[in-house]
Amino acid sequence: MISQFFILSQRGDNIVFRDYRGEVPKGSAEIFFRKVKFWKDDGDGDAPPVFNVDGVNYFHVKDAGLLFVATTRVNLSPSLVLELLRRISRVVKDYLGVLSEESLRKNFVLVYELLDQIIDFGYVQTTSTELLKSYVFNEPVVVDPTQFLPLGSAGIFTAKRMPVTTIAKSVVANERGGRKREEIFVDIIEKMSVTFNSSGYILTSEIDGTIQLKSYLTGNPEIRLALNEEVSIGRGGGSAYDYGLGTGAVILDDCNFHESVHLDSFDVDRTLSLVPTDGEFPVMNYRITQEFKPPFRINSLIEEAGPLKAGVIIKVRADFPSSIIADKILVQIPLPPYTTRVSFELEPGAVGNTTDFKEANKRVEWGLKKIVGGSEHTLHAKLTFSQESHGNITKEAGPVSMTFTIPMFNSSRLQVKYLHITKKSKSYNPYRWVRYVTHSNSYVARL
Amino acid sequence: MAPPAQAQRSSSPSQPSGKGEVADVKSQLRNLAGSRAPGVDDSKRELFKKVISYMTIGIDVSSVFGEMVMCSATSDIVLKKMCYLYVGNYAKVNPDLALLTINFLQRDCKDEDPMIRGLALRSLCSLRVTNLVEYLVGPLGAGLKDNNSYVRMIAVMGVLKLYHISASTCVDADFPTTLKHLLLNDRDTQVVANCLSALQEIWSLGGSASEEVSREREILLSKPVIYYLLNRIREFSEWAQCLVLELVAKYVPADPNEIFDVMNLLEDRLQHANGAVVLATAKVFLQLTLSMTDVHQQVYERIKAPLLTLVSSGSPEQSYAVLSHLHLLVMRAPFIFSSDYKHFYCQYNEPSYVKKLKLEMLTAVANESNTYEIVTELCEYAANVDIPIARESIRAVGKIALQQYDVNAIVDRLLQFLEMEKDYVTAEALVLVKDLLRKYPQWSQDCIAVVGNISSKNVQEPKAKAALIWMLGEYSHEMHDAPYILEGLIENWEDEHSAEVRLHLLTAVMKCFFKRAPETQKSLGAALAAGLADFHQDVHDRALFYYRLLQYNISVAERVVNPPKQAVSVFADTQSSEIKDRIFDEFNSLSVVYQKPSYMFTYKEHRGPFEFSDEIGNLSIGTESTDTVVPNRVEANDKDLLLSTSEKEETRGLNNSSSAYSAPSYDASSLSVPTSQLSELAISNPSVSGNVPQPSFAIDDLLGLGLPTAPAPAPSPPPLKLNPKAVLDPTTFQQKWRQLPISLSQEYSINPQGVAALTTPQALLRHMQGQSIHCIASGGQSPNFKFFFFAQKAEESSTFLVECIVNTSSAKAQIKIKADDQNATQPFSSVFQSALSKFGMP
């Protein structure tokens, strides 16, 4: 069982601190924070999410720059505690609308109310946003949400443009005018990992997807989510590869589902039915290693150009329809440690580009505000070295890595065909939002 | 009234004490306490908030306790809840003032609103004040019978809290019995789950009454209870499901069909989005199938995909927890994962703790078919900007080379590392090439050619330098300028800080001398002189030893220093298989993440005093402990010996908490008995227990009971022959005990002499050992003793395991026998009974 739970700010201040069992000495929060802070200095990289100091086990997860921490002396299941911490952060977000240090500080009494119900004497009682509702009496003080952009930007909606703020609202707060808006969000979020080798051939590729639901419907109507029928699960039989490409089949290696999902007709017509509870939760997680067309092709080259000089060329081509626009693109490449100066040359007419050489970790960062589908972008960089490079320069630089977000796009071709809500009355017609987005997870091209 | 704020403020500037602010709040609270003015609740809310926020950041606000209680007479629920929170935090340090709260809490416990009843009851039980327990019993009793499940749920946890404050009060009120009833009858699954948590904790705390407790535990693990819980599992919350699954993992089904029933029932739990549920289910599957090798393997196949999905779907923290478990499985059965190696490729943005795990997994799954690709991938990491990971990657390549039969390609890669001219890459590669040569001497020519080109000046790390020097010595006949490189190194003897390197230098120059005496003689002299003058004892001694050896006879010296070597076939594993098995037993716990069994990271002082079961793992046992045995300390809490190790963890934790709450007398006793850590354990080690523990004899004699000084010879030899020198290690015992079914369960009577002789468990141990029945663990206190024995057949390694519970007041012994060979149970049982019946006979 859990002994203590606390939330620390980035600077290590206690924002919320709850001791459930009084068996871990005072000062555990300081001990924890020092340990995490100095872990890196000892050359071991980031502190792992679980570690032991003097017989006390510390678990932590990071969210929105905050540290959610639990301590125990018992040999608990690490998964259980880390899942719980993640869940607590989600529940807090459900109630506050926005998870940030400011919103927590303004609502810490409400958070205490939640914690009191979530854990009793170290044992988890409930983490259901819905069930917790009846035990929370503090009104959330809503922090101005416009400064926090939710998933994607407003540009991702096709049919109706929607104000960004709606997603950042608390499950208990009412809209101005005291009426709750009936709406439901279904997000298909895919994290993409691709590794290209030096000749542009795909070494590994994977899509980790989530269908996430956030419901503000009253009265808990049942909903049905239909996926496209081409979806199949499991790569068994060895034939998967044969009809994988071209035929439009979407083959999931594996997937899992939220507790509330009924799969009765899933095998027949790929329909998930569930009664969504309040708050945000993943309906389904899936994993795909079937080949897919990567959205970006990267070509890069590093070449010596005389003594103490070298040139780098990075070319990025967007391999998706021109109706789609990727944003928040950052391309990075580590350079040899003896690089002293870098000068950049962009294509004529390039807009929204930023280039930077990070002296401290010898890295070039190339930022692009947006990339329209079908377009191609090139960066030339000239490097100056402080010493002669010996041996193979390509072994001292790279790989090129890329981060991006592509709204309204998913490579897996998994789709939500329709979202059906059981109607309470004829006039009942809640807003439904189905949104797709692809994020880069690890998108790497080797030199 | 309140002193001026200024005077109080900041006695130490670095740490604001907040005293001034607290005094401020105190006086404001006072003003509000009696007020009935409109809007007073809002002002109170603001003040209460302030108090709670001080409390959160660690300012001591216990001084406003009285004022808080005075202000709490309100119907405002937000205020009430803040007040409850405050009271729960400070009641312990303010036991007198806590009495003030009893009144309003008790009143709230009878409120109409079930939520108020529940909240008040929770606060009441959270006061942690010993002399207030009498006030708890009434409300708790009512709470357990409340018709609202929220109140019952809280009441159940309240019982556990009460047990921590005063176990006797809790037991006297018969609350545990009520919980048992609720466990099997309550409609609300969270009430049931809390009963399960509470009962498990209570029973693991229930120190001396171990017989009763172990019976209770058995009931909990009995088929009806397990099935009852399993059949309702979908009704439980995901967290409570974990609790139930943890329990089911300890259940021993009677036959294979039952195993498949359980697994079929739980099959869909593997599709759960909550990683904790999936891992708990995986544990059940793994534990149930331990004794069915092929099914066990199928389980690995079955849980592979769900675990991989969890690794890639969750946050980095969640995926780390799952990945650690996957790592454990990969290490145990690499062949099952050999085609999944791409999943273990590192992504550039992963934290290094994840990358390290993945590198180890890649190393483990490498086989003939995938080695080329894995090594190619690892070579990419070797050029990585993350230096620690680059090093690990090179080591991984080396490890793969050492475990493969076909190493051609890998050797080339390793040698390429040496040409990369990065210091750390060279250093790691040198160490690897050295190990490689020890295993595959046939590669020496290729390697030496490359190693010879490395300038020793570019090698600074001691390990790498030592490796280079070793190769120079070992292959001095093939490396043209070996003597001269060594000479250069010896000239810089003074600058060499590492003793390891200097030791290697001595040996290398000796080896070189045997092969190329004329070129080396001078360096050898210089090295020996420098060695003799060395301040480091080992270096000095080795130099002296070599010197004398050479003086004595050079050819003998060569035989000693440079004998022909056999290639190393397998390098020793760093972790014993016993430890690995223990970690596997503790699947789905921190042991897996830390890669250590729990006894290595759970500290003794925080465990209960009578915990010995985990010691059984590292065998701090036997003769050395017996001569310090203090009889009343032999209270080993053996009840959990046979429970799966993860449950022991719970036990330990619970015991921890008991030490947190219990009186100081505890610590005092453990301090006053300096050897208490040893004497906690009444474990006899069969292999060394030839000598007899004297102290217990002395005590027996004092009591005038007359004890045989030697085991009585058996009058008639039993039909079954037992091995008098049987050996069994405790881990194996535990495993077997969990896996084997009970083949015989019986109750015997013990004769009065036997009862009289059983003043300490040791007497019986010695007696039984005389009958070739060995004790592996024992414990208990008069009148209840518990023993675990084992015996082996004389001719074959068929083992019998016995649990024997002796109650001296009823002169009864309850025996449970488990046997490898079920058919031999009867004969063994009669041997055991006859041995037992002779106990105490002159």
Residue labelled with tokens 């044992």: A123
How would you label B728-755 residue by residue, b for 16+ Cβ within 10 Å and e otherwise?
Answer: bbbbbbbbbbbebeebbeeebebeeebb
Give the C-alpha separation, B454 to B447, whole Å.
Answer: 11
**Nearest partner of A330 among A364, A355, A382, A367, judged by Cα:** A367
**ipTM here:** 0.89
Are the beta carbons of B489 and B498 closer than 8 angstroms?
no
Are the beta carbons of A19 and A56 closer than 8 angstroms?
no
Nearest CA distance, A336 vs chain B (angstrom): 9
Give me the sign of the Cα torsion angle B468, B474, B475, B481.
Answer: positive
Report residue B18's pLDDT band, with 50, 70 and 90 as the boundaries. Answer: low
Are B190 and A259 inside 8 Å of each other by CB?
Answer: no
| pLDDT score for B205 | 79
Lowest pLDDT segment from A187-191, B31-35, B439-443, B529-533:
B31-35
Single-letter amino acid code for the residue at B689: S
| pLDDT score for B405 | 64
Query: What's the N-to-C CA distance of chain B in angstroms?
Result: 81
- The CATH number of the domain holding residue B764 is 3.30.310.10
Residue A57: helix, strand or coil by DSSP? strand
Query: What does the pLDDT look like over B311-363, one tens digit per residue?
Result: 988 888 998 999 999 999 999 999 999 999 999 999 888 888 899 999 999 99
Are the beta carbons of A323 and A375 closer than 8 angstroms?
no
H or E segment to which residue B807 belongs? strand B799-807
| pLDDT score for B651 | 38
H or E segment to which residue A415 belongs? none
Q: What are the contacts of B42-47 at 24+ separation with CB within 8 A?
A: B44/B71, B44/B74, B44/B76, B44/B79, B45/B76, B45/B78, B45/B79, B45/B82, B47/B71
Report residue B760's pLDDT band, with 50, 70 and 90 as the boundaries. Answer: low
pLDDT reading at B32 higher than 70: yes
**Nearest partner of A422 among A414, A410, A430, A434, judged by Cα:** A430
Count CB neighbours of A31 within 10 A.
17
List, as ranges, residues 288-307 from B with C-beta within 8 Å of A.
Answer: 305-306
The domain segmentation of chain A, as residue ranges, is: 4-133, 183-237+245-293+409-445, 296-407
Give the C-alpha separation, B64 to B86, whole Å.
Answer: 10
Are A391 and B419 inside 8 Å of each other by CB?
Answer: yes
Query: What's the N-to-C CA distance of chain A in angstroms?
Result: 49
| pLDDT score for A85 | 97
Q: Is residue B364 part of a domain?
A: no
List, as ranges, residues 361-380 from A with C-beta within 8 Å of B.
Answer: 361-362
For domain A296-407, give the CATH number.
2.60.40.1170
Sorted by sequence, the CB contacts under 8 Å of residue A190 that are 6+ apart come out as A207, A208, A209, A210, A410, A411, A412, A436, A437, A438, A439
Count CB neighbours of B572 within 10 A.
6
Final residue in a domain of this structure, among B513, B533, B565: B565
Residue that wins the pLDDT comparison between B139 and B127: B139
| pLDDT score for B207 | 55
Are the beta carbons of A442 and A189 closer than 8 angstroms?
no
Residue that wins the pLDDT comparison between B309 and B443: B309
| pLDDT score for A4 | 95
Count CB neighbours of A386 within 10 A.
11
Are the beta carbons of B614 and A87 closer than 8 angstroms?
no
pLDDT reading at A425 higher than 80: no
Q: Which domain holds residue B498?
A: 457-565
Q: Is residue B741 part of a domain?
A: yes
| pLDDT score for B75 | 78
| pLDDT score for A307 | 84
Token pair recorded at residue B28 = 């404001």
Are the beta carbons of B741 and B252 closer than 8 angstroms?
yes
Mean pLDDT of all residues in B200-217: 76
List, as ranges, residues 369-408 from B with C-beta within 8 Å of A.
Answer: 377, 380, 383, 385-386, 388
Q: Of the candidates A19, A63, A442, which has its C-beta nearest B349's C-beta?
A: A442
Q: Is residue B762 part of a domain?
A: yes
Q: Is residue B621 part of a domain?
A: no
Are the beta carbons of B325 and B587 closer than 8 angstroms?
yes
Token pair recorded at residue B244 = 């139930």
State percent of chain B over pLDDT 70.
Answer: 82
Are the beta carbons of A216 and B322 closer than 8 angstroms?
no
Reported residue count of chain A is 447
User: How many secondary structure helices (H) and strands (E) does chain B include?
Assistant: 43, 5
Give the C-alpha separation, B138 to B121, whole Å.
Answer: 11
Final residue in a domain of this structure, among B565, B597, B613: B565
Give the C-alpha separation, B390 to B381, whole Å.
Answer: 5
Residue B627: helix, strand or coil by DSSP? coil
Final residue in a domain of this structure, among B513, B531, B565: B565
- Phi/psi of residue B174, each to 5°? 65, 25
| pLDDT score for B714 | 44
Reported residue count of chain B is 842
Give the C-alpha separation, B468 to B325, whole Å.
Answer: 38
Looking at chain B, which residue has its C-alpha nearest residue A57?
B590
* HEC per residue, B480-541: CCHHHHHHHHHHCHHHCCCHHHHHHHHHHHHHHHHHCHHHHHHHHHHHHHHHHCCCCHHHHH
| pLDDT score for A304 | 87
Hey, which residues does A209 pair with through a beta bridge? A190, A286
CB of B89 less than 8 A from some CB of A: yes
| pLDDT score for A330 | 95
Q: Is residue B417 part of a domain?
A: no
pTM over 0.80: no
pLDDT reading at B437 higher than 70: yes
How far apart, in Å, are the Cα atoms of A270 and each of A226, A229, A233, B464? 6, 6, 11, 59
Query: What does the pLDDT look like over A39-61, one tens digit per residue?
Result: 877 666 789 999 999 889 999 99
Report residue B93's pLDDT band, with 50, 70 and 90 as the boundaries. Answer: confident
* HEC per residue, B284-296: HHHHHCCCCHHHH
| pLDDT score for B656 | 38
Report residue B416's pLDDT band, with 50, 70 and 90 as the boundaries. Answer: confident
Q: Across all residues in chain A, what is the average pLDDT?
A: 85
Q: Which fold has domain A183-237+245-293+409-445?
A: Immunoglobulin-like (2.60.40)
Nearest CA distance, A128 vs chain B (angstrom): 9
Q: Is residue B493 part of a domain?
A: yes
Looking at chain B, which residue has its C-alpha nearest residue A441?
B349
Hey, which residues does B744 pair with through a beta bridge? B817
The alpha-helical segments, DSSP class H, found in B91-133 are 95-108, 114-125
Mean pLDDT of all residues in B90-106: 83
pLDDT reading at B182 higher than 90: yes
Give the C-alpha separation, B591 to B732, whole Å.
Answer: 19
Query: What does the pLDDT look like over B790-830, one tens digit per residue?
Result: 888 877 778 888 888 877 777 778 888 888 887 788 888 88
Q: Is residue B289 part of a domain?
A: no
Give the C-alpha separation, B759 to A405, whole Å.
Answer: 76
Report residue B78's pLDDT band, with 50, 70 and 90 as the boundaries. Answer: confident
pLDDT reading at B44 higher than 50: yes
Residue A287: helix, strand or coil by DSSP? strand
Greatest CA separation found in chain A?
78
Residue B105: helix, strand or coil by DSSP? helix
State percent of chain B over pLDDT 90.
Answer: 31
Q: Is residue B748 part of a domain?
A: yes
Give the C-alpha separation, B699 to A61, whole Å.
Answer: 56
Mean pLDDT of all residues in B610-618: 35
How many structural domains does chain B have?
2
Residue A445: helix, strand or coil by DSSP? strand
Question: Residues of A with CB below 8 A from B590's CB?
Answer: 50, 52, 57, 75-76, 78
Question: Residues of B with CB below 8 A from A442's CB?
Answer: 347-350
Q: Which fold has domain A4-133?
A: Beta-Lactamase (3.30.450)
Are B601 and A52 inside 8 Å of each other by CB?
Answer: yes
